[in-house]
Structure 1
């Protein structure tokens, strides 16, 4: 067995915080140092006492080296990060300190970027030494951390009105204390995670602030740079904007800290102690978050940003069995605690959005999971711009969706169990139209960690809803994004596949213009794979690609006569119609298909001059896929709908359509539910017509886009990709929308576009995992059939219906004749919302950071100082004075509980 280097073993034993552990060559204490320091450095370090300042002269005398050599070694060791120094003595002379591994040299060594990248074992060292010493002690640590590690300090504005707060609980206290002595450096935890390939998308650069003499140490050893107080406050504010937690060092008592860190639980090793071991005493502040249920509207912003998973969405309404009881996280106060109580998967589990009992169905069923209750409440209060901002946190196209969404939120609405669902989409349309009429539009600001644009160029291929949504969220993050579109106008199927009478193109263009003002560049008339290839774009330094070209091709029925003059696919016909081409269809038109696109084709045919329009589809009236609302509108316009018929042959005369033969469909699917239509071929009809528009599906036209790439195709020509990250077999290529799922709705594409942006942000930064600490955006619907709805909470208003432009026959114009709700109608409609969802805080998981309070737009969540002892700060040397008494009392409680259970 390798006995290792004796001096390194001895040094590792000296500075480890693992009580009673004998260090061997297999331990992090050894291999984490062995590649970084020489035996001579170890000799110098062994001449020092842990956390006891010594001058260079004192060290030289102790290690028996001359002063010049000692000073040279001390400087080199400081640069590496093995030791630190300060001037905290009466004579203000430089003094050196040998720290423990954590907080200390394992952390400082990770601050040295060149060193840790040359010695990646140092990243693993920090990972191990911030965990191993705590595995046994964590449940025995009292509130306040007992002088161990870091300490959460609340967002200051969250406690500004708290009269009981102490000065040490305010960030401003510490900033003022070290006035003029600040430096900013990289986050050691995030850097370690990045080197290990476990980054969570929260980046390392310039997020941790050294104060006092530590600022000089960081600058002089090339681990940071000086900043002024204004920059400190800017970094702190930026951290809060990004949902990061403020922490201060907690090993020197109440009179001293050496750093203010801005942490995320998915990377931070200090916050890990409370989350992995389920022991929040280790790092929490004195505060606990509480929700005012009367004000909460379950918008989910507090849930999304809560670093500890303490806030989840639940319900406000009682069940038939009484109020819902939410289980709290068990604590180690009086229970035996070991690995069986830990949560190794905490980084992902903290991203769970709601309790198993469920939350508001509207948010759950919306593919983009928009905070519906939230914007309905804001609209009821006349806060239209704020409502728009809330919507745009998840959906950059509220006006578009207000016109064309298939309204799954309304299908699930709890109000629908009483009378009719809330007209959610109409309210959203009103909010969006209010904003479109303003001279000054809302342009979402850039929000990222670095406070300036990122340099990585991103290419989005396809300017449909998925591609433009991805571009929107990447631009909001600060990325330079170029959207390439082969058509002459952006919008994809929103522009070319949806008739103007359903979506006015100036409304769409207005929402696209917001992207332009955010810095998104559109290059239209450019087909990737033909005009320029992805490989050529890589040479132009594009770092990632998002493919969202949609299903722009139409499918045919593979029957005789499909090549005749007068036969079009529905997609082709709509594209021509929306391209302002001559689409006159005189005579009789037959539309094959029963989906929403088929209805759009039929209604467009009426406006194109057809004397009669008939639809034929395989499904019966109850199962045909078109939305009932659209079917009703088609019938109102004189379109005949014939169910359970499928095409057999198109009759041609002189090369043109003269009719179509249809056969009776007796079943659409087989026993397993797979599409497998069966016909009664003895039951056929012939319908005379001059035009046949086949709208039975769509296809993907890849062209040469994928030439030379590793992207693989799945069924139906769809791109194969990971269902969470949307990454393909070509690592820098991501997909979304219809090219991944097949034809769906705009809101599905929008949801996919946002997730694509999350993945691309992580991908273009080295060492970031696409999955760790990622919000899966999974929600559970409450049981609507098991609710008790108080009569007084039910508004007497009936569902409000939008009006129509008077004096205009809809079927004579391609213009949208639907009007938005009036302001009075919006007030009445929003009053109908039952407000079934609400956020719920598990106080046993809350670490009192206050991040949630900065995200709430309804003043519904606040911090309360219920654990004042958690603000105690003691020196590391005195930690056992706190830990041992608490541990003894805890053990007594454990024994008593055990005796009671016998």
Structure 2
């Protein structure tokens, strides 16, 4: 018995020693994070994430092969916990959703018929698919069959429709689609996507500097989903109230309907839904990614600055705006008169951006109250320079500094900042220039009581760069136009006050670099225009005196136009942590250009903050057009009248700063939305049945 016990003990001891040695020799270490990550997964082992169960998914997360949001069942809360375990940017924890940008379906023509192929994959292998459109949906439903969550169905127009309430972002549909029509992206990825050559884009969307999905929001208006339309616009443009009032809508110049009829009034539809939200008594919620802990300083509270701040905040970053003026808005507040953009409208719009958690510091002047270097010392990891172009060009003629002489932006800013919107004016005034600022000046002068107002321009009306609708409005209000007139000197009295503007009559010669015919003076044609007030509005450039106090001023490259030298795709300056946009990057341009620049800069700043390579897609469009999407004719269009812009009668508007252009009615918005051909890259609807207004359902969102 004793011997047996001893033998058993010996065997046990031997086994223990062997196992102890084996554990050292064959030891396999498992990262403790794997079990922690797996704990926060659903435990369903459904395979919807693409991995063979939750354990495999957890291993993939720890190995860096999957995002914290890999589990499609557990939800965003679990993804945040997993992001915390991994110590990664919690922004990667955003939920994924599938999106279909192709709205063509069966509208695209077939280039061949083949009954033997009943799947998109099979069709795509035959000469790229049967559809004429190279990126268009083939319509055989591979994506629908791949979805295990019943989140995709074939719509009535022959293309797949995603139900976002059921979509879990597993990516099966994206994998199944041979044309990459369906893309699975997070909110941040959608915000950061820019137009590319392979995208399904209508010509109007390609033209829009903010890259708004115009056909989609017009379709939502047509269906009565006004909240959806607002959200579609806001994914690209946070200043839809502003743009609805001041944008010259370059998109409409590429509207396909305009080839056979009048273009759709795209901007009026944008204003309609923007005003609908403002007047509804509620703000639609704007989601933001989880906080990243990264700090960004935005210098300049104009359209570029507030747009950049908006997109950065939605991407999860902490943003502070530093503005030199008493209130945010930049040129939209201090350069655009109230009769075009009321202060209360701008206030409402900007407040919505601040409510996302953006801090604003007004009356903070760069170079006086702070520097770029001091912001860096305060922990701001990136800087956006959106300081605008506030320095007016001078005429360069004798006498332009006499009393009664103003510069354009100087005058408009003075009026905007006055408590009663009034400044002292004369009886006869001339404004030199032909752009939008010049028109704003003359129309403002009329409202301030000037009896006779002139535009003095060295070319003809045809060459004026101002918006046509603004020129027409000025004509209706009684502004007089002195064309082919080039100022040569300003005449003053003994008290140093302006009494007249001397100009030379011009004639147009050969076109210059801008494509416009160059004005040539007519010898001996000197003429004096009697005035007691003169405003010069011939252009602006950025004010860059602040650089004198910057430690790295020699490393910040400046162009000969006083703009910050930058890559137009990336908007990164020669200082890697400094980015720019708006007029400070491009020179004076459209408000919508500044908004687009703000978003483009936000993407580059996001890449910089997250350690990614700052780059754009090699297929980026950047204001170019997809050649095959541009038509010469659009058969099947039945002409319908374009909705006119409602406006106050001249007699009711000329004596005050009351808003001139009004919002269209719901009935007119429905009519105008049905004029849209619902275009995509090649597809369009030549005629869309119009639903009676009483059948429209207004979605509250």
TM-score normalised by length of structure 1: 0.59
Q: CA contact under 8 A between 1:443 and 1:517: conserved in structure 2?
A: no
Q: CA contact under 8 A between 1:298 and 1:838: conserved in structure 2?
A: no
SS at match of 1:682: coil
Superposed, which structure 2 residues align to 1:404-553 within 5 Å? 404-447=246-289, 452-553=290-391
Report the alpha carbon displacement of residue 562 of structure 1 after superposing the two structures with TM. 1.1
Could you tell me how far apart the structure 1 residues matched to 2:286 and 2:309 are?
13
SS at match of 2:307: helix
Distance 1:184 1:514, change over 3 A: farther
Range with bigger deviation, 703-712 or 565-574: 703-712
Residues 1:642 and 2:487 aligned together: no
Report the alpha carbon displacement of residue 478 of structure 1 after superposing the two structures with TM. 1.4
Could you tell me how far apart the structure 2 residues matched to 1:236 and 1:526 are?
34
Residues 1:743 and 2:588 aligned together: yes
SS at match of 1:659: strand
Select which of 512, 528, 551 maps to 1:686.
Answer: 528
Q: CA contact under 8 A between 1:313 and 1:838: conserved in structure 2?
A: no
Which stretches in structure 2 are left out of the alignment for 5+ residues? 1-13, 36-43, 74-80, 101-142, 183-192, 684-701
Select which of 587, 597, 606 maps to 2:437.
Answer: 597
Could you tell me how far apart the structure 1 residues matched to 2:158 and 2:358 are?
37
Q: CA contact under 8 A between 1:459 and 1:546: conserved in structure 2?
A: yes
* Counterpart residue number, 1:30: none
Select which of 571, 595, 600 maps to 1:755.
Answer: 600
RMSD between superposed Cα atoms in Å: 4.3
Report the alpha carbon displacement of residue 294 of structure 1 after superposing the two structures with TM. 2.9
Could you tell me how far apart the structure 1 residues matched to 2:629 and 2:57 are?
53
Report the alpha carbon displacement of residue 517 of structure 1 after superposing the two structures with TM. 1.0
Q: CA contact under 8 A between 1:311 and 1:839: conserved in structure 2?
A: no
| Deviations 1:37-74 (CA, angstroms, capped at 9, x unpaired) | xxxxxxxxxxxxxxxxxxxxxxx99xxx9654553465
* Counterpart residue number, 1:279: none
Q: CA contact under 8 A between 2:540 and 2:588: conserved in structure 1?
A: yes
Could you tell me how far apart the structure 2 residues matched to 1:592 and 1:773 are?
43
Residues 1:813 and 2:672 aligned together: no
Could you tell me how far apart the structure 1 residues matched to 2:539 and 2:315 are?
36
Q: CA contact under 8 A between 1:596 and 1:627: conserved in structure 2?
A: yes
Distance 1:574 1:475, change over 3 A: same
| Deviations 1:736-758 (CA, angstroms, capped at 9, x unpaired) | 01111110000000011111111
Report the alpha carbon displacement of residue 417 of structure 1 after superposing the two structures with TM. 1.7
* Counterpart residue number, 1:780: 626
SS at match of 2:425: coil
Q: CA contact under 8 A between 1:649 and 1:660: conserved in structure 2?
A: yes
State which structure, 1 or 2, has the greater radius of gyration over its C-alpha atoms: 1
Range with bigger deviation, 67-76 or 726-735: 67-76
| Deviations 1:851-872 (CA, angstroms, capped at 9, x unpaired) | xxxxxxxxxxxxxxxxxxxxxx
Select which of 504, 524, 528 maps to 1:663.
Answer: 504
Report the alpha carbon displacement of residue 395 of structure 1 after superposing the two structures with TM. 0.4
Report the alpha carbon displacement of residue 461 of structure 1 after superposing the two structures with TM. 0.4
Distance 1:294 1:664, change over 3 A: farther
SS at match of 2:522: strand
Report the alpha carbon displacement of residue 523 of structure 1 after superposing the two structures with TM. 0.5
Select which of 221, 243, 253 maps to 1:401.
Answer: 243
Distance 1:560 1:445, change over 3 A: same
Q: CA contact under 8 A between 2:203 and 2:681: conserved in structure 1?
A: no
SS at match of 2:669: helix
TM-score normalised by length of structure 2: 0.74
Residues 1:364 and 2:226 aligned together: no
* Counterpart residue number, 1:215: none
Q: CA contact under 8 A between 1:565 and 1:655: conserved in structure 2?
A: yes
Could you tell me how far apart the structure 2 residues matched to 1:297 and 1:576 are?
55
| Deviations 1:199-242 (CA, angstroms, capped at 9, x unpaired) | xxxxx86345699xxxxxxx9xx99959xxxxxxx999834149
Range with bigger deviation, 773-782 or 722-731: 773-782
* Counterpart residue number, 1:622: 462
* Counterpart residue number, 2:559: 714
Report the alpha carbon displacement of residue 381 of structure 1 after superposing the two structures with TM. 1.5
Select which of 65, 68, 71 maps to 1:206.
Answer: 68
Residues 1:607 and 2:450 aligned together: no
RCO (CA 8 Å, sep 6+): is it higher in 1 or 2?
A: 1
Could you tell me how far apart the structure 2 residues matched to 1:668 and 1:522 are?
50
| Deviations 1:340-391 (CA, angstroms, capped at 9, x unpaired) | xxxxxxxxxx9873459x8422111111111111111111121111100000
Could you tell me how far apart the structure 2 residues matched to 1:184 and 1:441 are?
42
| Deviations 1:582-615 (CA, angstroms, capped at 9, x unpaired) | 4131210000000111101110111111110000
Residues 1:579 and 2:417 aligned together: yes
Q: CA contact under 8 A between 1:607 and 1:812: conserved in structure 2?
A: yes
Could you tell me how far apart the structure 2 residues matched to 1:756 and 1:766 are?
15
Distance 1:718 1:237, change over 3 A: closer
Superposed, which structure 2 residues align to 1:779-858 within 5 Å? 779-780=625-626, 785-791=631-637, 794=638, 797-805=640-648, 809-837=652-680
Could you tell me how far apart the structure 2 residues matched to 1:773 and 1:622 are?
38
Distance 1:582 1:556, change over 3 A: same
SS at match of 2:398: coil
* Counterpart residue number, 2:392: 554
Could you tell me how far apart the structure 1 residues matched to 2:24 and 2:99 are?
42
Residues 1:588 and 2:428 aligned together: yes
* Counterpart residue number, 1:631: 471
Superposed, which structure 2 residues align to 1:342-361 within 5 Å? 353-355=196-198, 359-361=201-203
Could you tell me how far apart the structure 1 residues matched to 2:160 and 2:449 are?
49
Could you tell me how far apart the structure 1 residues matched to 2:221 and 2:72 are?
45
Distance 1:701 1:298, change over 3 A: farther
Could you tell me how far apart the structure 2 residues matched to 1:527 and 1:224 are?
39
Q: CA contact under 8 A between 1:486 and 1:528: conserved in structure 2?
A: yes
Q: CA contact under 8 A between 2:197 and 2:619: conserved in structure 1?
A: no
Report the alpha carbon displacement of residue 715 of structure 1 after superposing the two structures with TM. 2.4
Could you tell me how far apart the structure 2 residues matched to 1:298 and 1:692 are?
59
Could you tell me how far apart the structure 1 residues matched to 2:621 and 2:588 are?
23
Could you tell me how far apart the structure 2 residues matched to 1:187 and 1:761 are?
24
Distance 1:664 1:525, change over 3 A: same
SS at match of 1:622: helix
Superposed, which structure 2 residues align to 1:53-452 within 5 Å? 67-68=19-20, 70-72=22-24, 74-75=26-27, 78=30, 171=48, 183=58, 186=61, 188=63, 206-208=68-70, 238-241=94-97, 287=146, 294=157, 353-355=196-198, 359-447=201-289, 452=290
Report the alpha carbon displacement of residue 544 of structure 1 after superposing the two structures with TM. 0.4
Distance 1:669 1:443, change over 3 A: farther
Which stretches in structure 1 are left out of the alignment for 5+ residues? 1-59, 86-166, 191-203, 212-218, 227-233, 245-283, 315-349, 841-902
Distance 1:668 1:489, change over 3 A: farther
Could you tell me how far apart the structure 2 residues matched to 1:481 and 1:635 are?
44
SS at match of 2:463: coil
Distance 1:753 1:669, change over 3 A: farther
SS at match of 1:522: strand
Number of equivalent positions: 586
